[in-house]
Amino acid sequence: MFENLSERLSGVFDRLTKQGALSEEDVQTALREVRVALLEADVSLPVARDFVARVQERATGQAVTRSITPGQQVVKIVHDALIDTLRGEGDPGALKIDNPPAPILMVGLQGSGKTTTTAKLAKRLKDREGKRVLMASLDTNRPAAMEQLAILGKQIGVDTLPIVKGEDPVAIARRAKTQAALGGYDVYMLDTAGRLHIDAELIAQAAAVRDVAKPRETLLVVDGLTGQDAVNVATEFDDKIGVTGVVLTRMDGDGRGGAALSMRAVTGRPIRFVGLGEKMDALETFDPERIAGRILG
Ligand code: GDP
């Protein structure tokens, strides 16, 4: 991911380093190129502007023009500014799951990787934190999706709520809650229905489930390859449902990393995890340091 941005920035800084000392004009030129690179990487315009302004402020403050290795110094300033924008508060991997059974609501569009991520996260909670997890699929429109969660559950050794035909999502959420309490589970995860696009029904259903379950965490799963669309999806879900964090999937692909930057800047919601493949272990805590390092190459 971030190849475009990374290549662009290395190109810019390479040229700067070769020139030796930097003039104010050089800094301006570099920052213009940084902005273009951000836009090309699918960062939204206001976010790119804001980011460049922050870099400019820092560059000026640190008298880059007089430094011996100005290129490196600018790289560091851009790196630090990227981290500032990407980082949320606290440990992104620390979910609020005290007070069992803690509900986690999983929302997102169909095909974003929601069901896969639900299972990956359940496995992580079981393996790393020794939690007893119950998963429930609320995707009553797609029996195959419900089956898929049950299959993944068996594969990773995590229980799923038995499927009852004809039950609506709110009723399933209630049953999951009861079952989680009676069964002594620490966490229950609700994998809500997804659609190809956000529509009123999807939002209404997710909101109804949210009101019943009162989730401790509402995680939005978005396809990291969908660029600016991912930001729009995040904005919409956050406005209508309220999310406590984002999981970016398919970050193993050559995604346009700009989406991560603008999603964070626009919604203010932290990115908690990234999906790095189809396997059940391919989920990692979001690491702004590593992402910034990859952006800069
Ligand atoms: P849902 O409709 O949102 O529940 O999506 P699924 O969980 O069914 O995922 C759709 C497809 O994306 C499946 O083939 C998954 O294996 C795949 N997938 C999910 N997460 C990732 C990821 O992080 N990387 C890659 N490469 N594939 C993923």
Per-residue pLDDT in tens (0 to 9) along the chain, 297 residues: 344 455 665 666 666 655 555 567 777 777 887 888 777 777 778 888 989 988 888 776 665 555 555 666 777 788 888 898 898 888 999 999 999 999 999 999 999 999 999 999 999 999 999 999 999 999 998 999 999 999 999 999 999 999 999 999 999 999 999 999 999 999 999 999 988 888 898 999 999 999 999 999 999 999 888 777 888 889 999 999 999 999 999 988 766 577 788 888 888 999 999 999 999 999 999 999 877 766 665
Q: Is 250 annotated as a binding residue?
A: yes
Best of 278, 284, 286 to mutate for ligand 1, by most ligand atoms within 8 A of CB? 278
Q: Is residue 5 within 8 Å of 257, Cβ to Cβ?
A: yes
**Whether residue 112 has its Cβ less than 6 Å from ligand 1:** yes
d(CA 181, CA 54): 49
**Whether residue 110 has its Cβ less than 6 Å from ligand 1:** yes
- The residues pairing with 247 across neighbouring beta strands, listed in sequence order, are 221, 273
Q: Tell me the three state secondary structure of residue 18.
A: helix
User: Atom 5, ligand 1: which residue's CA is nearest?
Assistant: 113
Amino acid at 39: L
User: Atom 20, ligand 1: which residue's CA is nearest?
Assistant: 113
d(CA 95, CA 65): 44
Q: Which residues contact 63 (CB under 8 A, 6 or more apart)?
A: none
**Whether residue 252 has its Cβ less than 6 Å from ligand 1:** yes
Q: Is 137 annotated as a binding residue?
A: no
- How would you classify residue 211: left for phi > 0, otherwise alpha for psi between -120 and 50, otherwise beta? alpha
Q: Tell me the three state secondary structure of residue 216.
A: coil
The per-residue b/e assignment along 16-30, b for 16 or more CB within 10 angstroms, e otherwise, is bbeeeebeeebbeeb
Distance 278 CA to ligand 1 centre (A): 6
Tell me which residue has tokens 């851009």.
78
**Whether residue 137 has its Cβ less than 6 Å from ligand 1:** no
Q: What DSSP character marks residue 241?
A: T
Q: Is residue 230 within 8 Å of 259, Cβ to Cβ?
A: yes
Angle, CA 288 vertex, CA 287 and CA 291 arms, to 5°:
90
Distance 14 CA to ligand 1 centre (A): 38
**Whether residue 275 has its Cβ less than 6 Å from ligand 1:** yes
Position in ligand 1 atom list of the atom nearest CA 283: 23
Q: Is 218 annotated as a binding residue?
A: no
Q: What DSSP character marks residue 270?
A: P
d(CA 25, CA 28): 5
CA torsion through residues 67, 69, 73, 75, sign = positive
- How would you classify residue 140: left for phi > 0, otherwise alpha for psi between -120 and 50, otherwise beta? alpha
**Helix intervals (H) in 130-156:** 143-156
Amino acid at 255: G
Query: What pLDDT, on a 0 to 100 scale, did the predictor assign at position 13?
Result: 61
Specify the pTM: 0.89
Backbone dihedral angles phi then psi of residue 283, each to the nearest 5 degrees: -140, 125
**Whether residue 250 has its Cβ less than 6 Å from ligand 1:** yes
Query: What pLDDT, on a 0 to 100 scale, did the predictor assign at position 1?
Result: 39
Q: Tell me the three state secondary structure of residue 76.
A: helix
Q: Is residue 286 within 8 Å of 294, Cβ to Cβ?
A: no
**Whether residue 249 has its Cβ less than 6 Å from ligand 1:** yes
Q: What is the ipTM of this complex?
A: 0.99
Q: Is 244 annotated as a binding residue?
A: no
Q: Is 252 annotated as a binding residue?
A: yes
